[in-house]
Each structure stands twice: as C-alpha cells, then as structure tokens.
Amino acid sequence: MDALQLLVAGVSQGCVYGLIALGFVLIYKATEVVNFAQGELMMIGAFIAYTFINILAWPYFYGVLATLLSMAVIGVVLERLLIRPMLGEPPFAVLMLTIGLGFLLRAVAGAIWGAEPKTLSTPYASDVLQLGEIIVGYGNLAIVLGTGVLCLALFLFFRYSRLGIAMQAASQNQLAAVYSGIPVARLVTGVWAVSALIAAIAGVLVAPVSLIDPQIGFIGVKAFAAAIVGGFGSLPGAMVGGLLIGIAEQFAGLYLPPGFSDVTAYIILLVMLFVRPQGIFASMMQKKV
Amino acid sequence: MRFLKKTRYEQDIALLEHNGQRFWYGLLLLLVLGAPFLIDGFYLGELSLVAIYAIAGCGLMLLVGFTGQVSLGHAAFLAIGAYCHTWCLGAGVPLLPSLLIAMSLSAAAGMIVALPALRMTGIYLAVATLAFAVIVEQGIAHWESVTGGYRGLAVPDASLFGLSVTDTTFFYYFCVALMLLATLALLNLLRSPTGRAFVAIRDSETSAQGMGIGLARYKTLAFALSAALTGLAGGLLAHKIGYLAPDAFNLIMSIQLLLMVVVGGLGSIHGIFYGALFLGFLPQGIALLRDALPPALANIPGLEPGIFGALLILMLIVEPDGLYGRWLKIRQYLDEFPLYRAKTHKRQKQFLRTERLR
C-alpha cells in the first residue's frame, strides 16, 4: 500500500511539473523561444491569487478569475516590453533574457510579498478523500484534474483551431507564415498571454498544497527537465515527462539515501539525453546549414 | 584611421600589430603590475578576484563565444577545481602541482559533460550542463567525508618560493600571472588550426563537418580546455574565499559566469576582461546602491540577483554585442567622425525557420 500511496503523491507532484512544462512547450512550440522564467510566472500567479483571496478576501472563484485575467495581462506586457524587441534575435539571446527575467521577477516578488512562506486558503484543500487505504487530498486531486482538463484543451486547440494551427505554422517558418497572412507578431503576444495563463492555473493549483515563497519558481528548472525528457515541443511529452519525474522523485525519496530525491530529475534528464536526446516524443529533425 | 602595410611575415603573425597597440597594452600592463603601489589592500583583493573571474571567463568564452556551446553549469567546474585543489593541499601537495591536478580533474569532468554534448545543440546542451551542475552541487553537499558537506571546508594555506597566498600582494601577482598565461594561451589557441576548427563549429556545425572537422573530437576538446581553465580559476577562488561551501557554486554562480561573457561581448577576448571587471565590481556597486536606497527597498531578499537579472535583460536588448562591441562602435564613430551614418550597425533581423515537423 505504501507504494500506491507514493504513486498518488508522485502523480500529483508530476502534474505540477507537467503543468509548468506545458507552459514551456507552448511558448517553444509557437515561437521557438525557451522561457526559463515559466516557474517564476507560476510563482507570481500564486502570489496574485494569494493577494486576491487572502488579503482582499474575495470569494475563491472570483479571486481565481481575477488572477487568470491579471496574469494574462502580465504575459502580454512582458511580451511587448521584453520579447518583442528580441524578435529575430538568436534563440540563445532570448533564453538568456528569460533567465534574467526569472531573477528579476523573484526580486520583485520578494519586494512586494516578502520572503516568508504563505499559504493560499481554499474551500477544498484541507479535506481528504479516503479510497480504501489510500488518502488523497482534494488539493492534489484538483491538481490532477485541472492538469488533465488543461491538457485536453491545449491538445484540441493545437489540433483543430485555426489559431493553433497558425501558431504552429509561425513557429516552423516565420517568413512563410507572414506571406500566408498570419499576423505573427500579434500571434506571439497571444501565445505569451496563454502561457502566463497556464502559469497562473499552475500557481493557483499548487499554492494550496505547498507554501508560496519567492523561491518556489525554482521548481521550474525541474519542470524544464520534464519538458526535455518528454521531448521539447510535444504537449503529451511534457505531461509524460512531468509524471515520470514526479513519481521517480517520490520513490527515490523513500528508497535511496538522502540527497538523491533532489537530483533524481536531473539524473533522469542526463540519462535521457545520453540514450535518446530527442526525448520520448521526438519532434526535431536534423538542422540544415 | 590607421592602415597597415604588412611587408614581413612576422608582422602578419604578431599578436600586437602596430606601435599604437604596443604602447597602450604596455601602459595597461604597467598599470596592472603597479596596482599594489597605487591602491589599498581591499581593492587589490577585489582586483585579484577580477583576475580569477577573467581566467574562468577565458574558459567560458572559449566554449560559448568561440565554440558556440552554451553552458549553464560552469560553476560545477569551478567547484570541482576549488574542492580538488583544497583536498590536494590538505594532502600535502605543493601549490602548483595541486592546481595542475585540479585542472586535470576538471578537464576530465568537462569531457564527461561533452559526451552528451556531441549529440545535441542549443538549449538541450544548456540544460544538460545545468543538470550536471545541480548534480555536482548536491554531490558536494552530501559527500561529507571529502567535502565537509554543508559544514564547509577550510582552505589550507599554501606558499610558493616562500611567499604565502594569504599575502594580498603576492596573491594578486600570482593571479595576474596566471591570467596573462591563460589569455596568451587562448590567443594562440585561437590562431591555431584547433581554434579555427572551434570557430567553424560555432558558425555552422554541418558545414564544419563537411570541411572534415571531427565534431566529437573538437567539442570534447573545447569542453575539456574550458573546464580546465575554469578549474584553475576555481582553485584560485578557493584561496580568495578561504572557506568552501556548496552553495557558493550554485546555479546563480553559473549564470553570473555566463552573464560575464555576455556582458563583455561574446566572441571577443577583450570582452572577457570587460565582463570580469563588471562582475568583480558589481557587488560593490550594489552595496553602494543599497546604502543610497531607503531601508525598505534595500532589504529586499534577492536584490542582488534581481539587479543582475535586470542588467542582463537591459544588455541583451540594448547592446547584444556587449561592452566591447559598444566600445568598437564608439571608436568607429570617432574614427569616421563627420561621416558616420546612423544605421551603420543596424542589427540584421532574421526570420525564424525550424526543421520541426509537428
């Protein structure tokens, strides 16, 4: 039963990684930019939810709605201020920029909300669901459900909607996309808004089960490992990678000496890069000259 | 403007091309050598830190700026160098052999990291090096019998020709000498066939391969050399900080090192030194800023990395060629004074194309 309980915890943790990884993959898929600040966006989302729900005492539902809206706006603002001037620069430069952005956001969050950990209060988080001998917190259940729904929505969006297909076209060949009448610059803004929205959802779901402080953005690095394990640029891959790392971490924490649980994600990542660098769901081809 | 008419082969291979350069670099060398007589102990210590950063910068610039392999984990090599050097000193190895051992071990680690590097590019590589750095940091934290774990490890004193490294002036000269050696080595390496191969790999892997350059061999070599130089810097850094703890070599350190070469200007040797000066004196600048700010703002947790981040963003948007690139532009403006056209350095934007199928 121990193993099953660990599995449940692992799935829940893995969904968190998967959620953040989804944000990475979304931006990467649409703009070929790697947004290293995705974890920090999640952290900001959690803090904004905390502000609305705990400090301003709004009802949970409206608080979450306001959080999603403000995060979408933040996504647009970030894109217009920082990413738009970098349009057409090498991807490495943009990667560096988002690393800088991550540090900046952490300092901003520290300045506004302070360094002490906070908890987001929700109507459901303190209850648990008893399934036979396994105990599942509603907070964890919400993470799993929310992730599932979001995954499905994104999959449908990229598969069937005009906007989603336009985004993929823009990522494969910007010039051709411009010629086909796709407003690439506006599209990129939209992608950042959606990606910040996903970060906000991750933040709102994670905040009740773990404490919020400016440092939680660092789990973005593990989520990044998840995205790569799954094959960068693949939405199902991001989820599978996240789940794999989440579950492996829980088991490593129990069965391996201390310290291993922290590096499990990276060991899996390195092994994956040795064995199958393109990830579980490959989407890359050999680069041409 | 100066036009050189080269009449002898020696002129073509000389590191310093003309008397103007000889004069200014000579003056700079005199200033560097005379620094202990000009400034007090604290700033001398900071200058030796700058020299150490410059050595690490040579390593990282070789890898990122000249071979085009981005590394987000160079703090790991710094850590390996520092701990190995400290351990060797503790075991009774003299200063210089101990530094050599640290360099070799670091180079070996670099070759291990290069193994996956042969199969991937860009962000994949950056993340692999990041993963390596996290594993090294955790390994150091938990391998207590050798590294002392989070309790830390005191760096023993060492001496050369009877002079101790705790003597600020001697340590400064020691660091500067090694920095000059590293720079000369890098300059000469880049003029050799090996260095040309590195640059070819940076500009296009596929065409480099087409020209008969063995990617595996040269990438491994680049990683090994880069790690060796960074390991040397790590060994010196151990003496500078005096007490080693794993969190001195965390992700932020790696990113600071990368920030150094980006701010200095990727792909230029001068950039290393601009970047090292920047990185070495930024904490002082931030400390001054902290005094000037109201206390509510000055006590923000993570203020220092935050300012690092903001500067990095500013630099990338305003001047991607780095400080040295900016200086080149200013110099060109002065050279061509009345004739300078505003759009001389307009950045070429390119449309994104990928070879992805889905």
* Distance, C-alpha A165 to centroid of its chain: 21
Rounded average pLDDT over A55-63 = 82
**pTM: predicted TM-score of the whole model, two decimal places:** 0.83
Give the residue from chain B lying closest to A284, CA to CA. Answer: B356
Token pair 């080595």 in the structure block, residue = B185
pLDDT in tens, A189-227: 888 888 898 888 888 888 877 778 877 877 888 888 888
Give the residue from chain A lying closest to B306, CA to CA. Answer: A104
> Which pLDDT score, from 0 to 100, does residue A286 have?
45
Helix axes B251-264, B122-142, angle to 10 degrees: 140
> Residue A115: exposed, middle, or buried by beta-carbon count in 10 A (0-12, 13-18, 19+)?
middle
Mark yes or no for CB contact A82/B358 under 8 Å. no
Query: What value does the mean pLDDT of chain A take?
Result: 81
Q: Are B227 and B113 in contact (CB under 8 A)?
A: yes
| In chain A, % of residues over pLDDT 90 | 2
Both tokens assigned to A231: 């094959």
Both tokens assigned to B280: 């070495």
Length of chain B: 358
Q: Write the CA distances from A160 to A153, A163, A167, A256, B196, integer angstroms.
A: 10, 9, 12, 45, 49
Least confident of A183-192, A272-281, B235-244: A272-281
- For residues B340 and A31, give the distance between their C-alpha atoms in angstroms, rounded to a whole number: 36
Mark yes or no for CB contact B317/A86 under 8 Å. yes
Q: Write the CA distances from B285 to A119, B39, B307, B312, integer angstroms.
A: 36, 18, 11, 15
**Pick from A87, A96, A172: which is nearest to B312 by CB?**
A96
Q: What single string gives the DSSP state of each residue in B32-75? A: HHHHHHHS-HHHHHHHHHHHHHHHHHHHHIIIIIIS----S-HH
Residues B173-179: contacts with CB under 8 Å, at least 24 apart: B173/B33, B173/B36, B174/B236, B175/B48, B175/B51, B175/B52, B175/B55, B175/B236, B176/B32, B176/B33, B176/B48, B176/B51, B178/B51, B178/B55, B178/B232, B178/B236, B179/B51, B179/B52, B179/B54, B179/B55, B179/B58
B262 touches chain A (CB under 8 A): yes
- For residues B63 and B295, give the distance between their C-alpha atoms in angstroms, rounded to a whole number: 41
The minimum CA-CA distance between A169 and chain B, rounded to whole Å, is 9
Mark yes or no for CB contact B305/A110 under 8 Å. no
The minimum CA-CA distance between B58 and chain A, rounded to whole Å, is 19
Query: Using 50, 70 and 90 to split pLDDT, how confident is the model at A77?
Result: very high
Query: Using 50, 70 and 90 to split pLDDT, how confident is the model at A81?
Result: confident
Chain A residues whose beta carbon lies within 8 Å of the beta carbon of residue B312 = 96-97, 99-100, 103
Mark yes or no for CB contact B116/A274 under 8 Å. yes
Which of A43, A82, A84, A99 to mutate: most B Cβ within 10 Å? A99
Scanning B10-69 for CB atoms below 8 A from A yields none
Both tokens assigned to A178: 């411009």
Q: Are A111 and B304 in contact (CB under 8 A)?
A: no
> Which pLDDT score, from 0 to 100, does residue B335 have?
80
**Pick from A82, A103, A262: which is nearest to B138 by CB?**
A262
Q: Cα-flanking dihedrals φ and ψ of residue B216, to 5°?
A: -60, -50
Q: Is the pLDDT of residue A182 over 60?
A: yes
> Which pLDDT score, from 0 to 100, does residue B55 have?
92
User: What sign has the CA pseudo-torsion A262, A104, B263, A90?
Assistant: positive
Closest C-alpha among B157, B46, B143 to residue B95: B157
Mark yes or no for CB contact A285/B350 under 8 Å. no
Q: Are B43 and B169 in contact (CB under 8 A)?
A: no
Q: Cα-flanking dihedrals φ and ψ of residue B160, to 5°?
A: -135, 130
Q: Cα-flanking dihedrals φ and ψ of residue B243, to 5°?
A: -145, 120
> Which pLDDT score, from 0 to 100, does residue A125 have?
62
Which of A86, A92, A272 to mutate: most B Cβ within 10 Å? A92
Chain B residues whose beta carbon lies within 8 Å of the beta carbon of residue A85 = 317
Q: Write the CA distances from A101 to A131, B106, B253, integer angstroms.
A: 43, 31, 16
**Pick from A104, A115, A289: which is nearest to B310 by CB?**
A104
The helix/strand/coil state of B102 is helix
Q: Residue A138, Cβ neighbours under 10 Å: how many? A: 18
Give the residue from chain A lying closest to B135, CA to CA. Answer: A263
> Which pLDDT score, from 0 to 100, does residue B227 have?
92
Assign residue A97 a region (left: φ > 0; alpha: ψ between -120 and 50; beta: otherwise): alpha
Question: Taking the CA atoms of chain A, what radius of gyration do you get in angstroms?
Answer: 19
Enumerate domains of chain B plus CATH numbers.
40-344 (1.10.3470)
pLDDT tens over chain B, length 358 residues: 677 788 888 877 777 777 778 888 888 888 888 777 878 877 888 888 899 999 999 999 998 888 888 888 888 899 998 888 888 888 877 878 888 888 899 999 888 888 776 666 667 777 778 888 888 888 887 777 777 767 777 777 777 777 777 777 888 888 888 999 999 999 889 888 898 999 888 888 788 888 888 888 888 888 899 999 999 999 888 888 878 777 778 788 888 888 888 888 888 888 888 888 888 888 888 878 777 777 766 666 667 778 888 888 888 888 777 788 788 888 888 888 777 777 777 766 666 655 554 4
Q: Residue A102, Cβ neighbours under 10 Å: how many? A: 26
Between A and B, how many residue pairs show a Cβ–Cβ distance under 8 A? 175
- For residues A179 and B352, give the distance between their C-alpha atoms in angstroms, rounded to a whole number: 13
Closest C-alpha among B166, B175, B143 to residue B53: B175
The 8-class DSSP code of residue B337 comes to G
> Which pLDDT score, from 0 to 100, does residue A144 have?
84
Would you kindly state where each structural domain of chain A is located, as residue ranges?
2-214
Mark yes or no for CB contact A100/B303 under 8 Å. no
Query: Using 50, 70 and 90 to split pLDDT, how confident is the model at A287?
Result: very low
**Residue B228 corresponds to which amino acid?**
A
Q: Is the pLDDT of residue A279 over 50?
A: yes
- Helical residues (DSSP H) of chain B, grouped into ranges: 9-13, 19-38, 41-60, 74-90, 95-117, 122-142, 144-147, 168-191, 193-203, 205-210, 215-241, 251-264, 269-292, 295-298, 303-318, 322-335
- For residues B86 and B102, give the distance between their C-alpha atoms in angstroms, rounded to a whole number: 9
**Which has more confidence, A211 or A81?**
A81
Identify the top-confidence range among A66-70, A144-148, A277-281, B280-284: A66-70
B353 touches chain A (CB under 8 A): yes
> Which pLDDT score, from 0 to 100, does residue B1 have?
63
Mark yes or no for CB contact A266/B141 under 8 Å. no
Q: What is the 3-state secondary structure (H, E, C) of B219-260?
A: HHHHHHHHHHHHHHHHHHHHHHHCEECHHHHCHHHHHHHHHH
> Which pLDDT score, from 0 to 100, does residue B352 have?
60
Q: Are B137 and B73 in contact (CB under 8 A)?
A: no
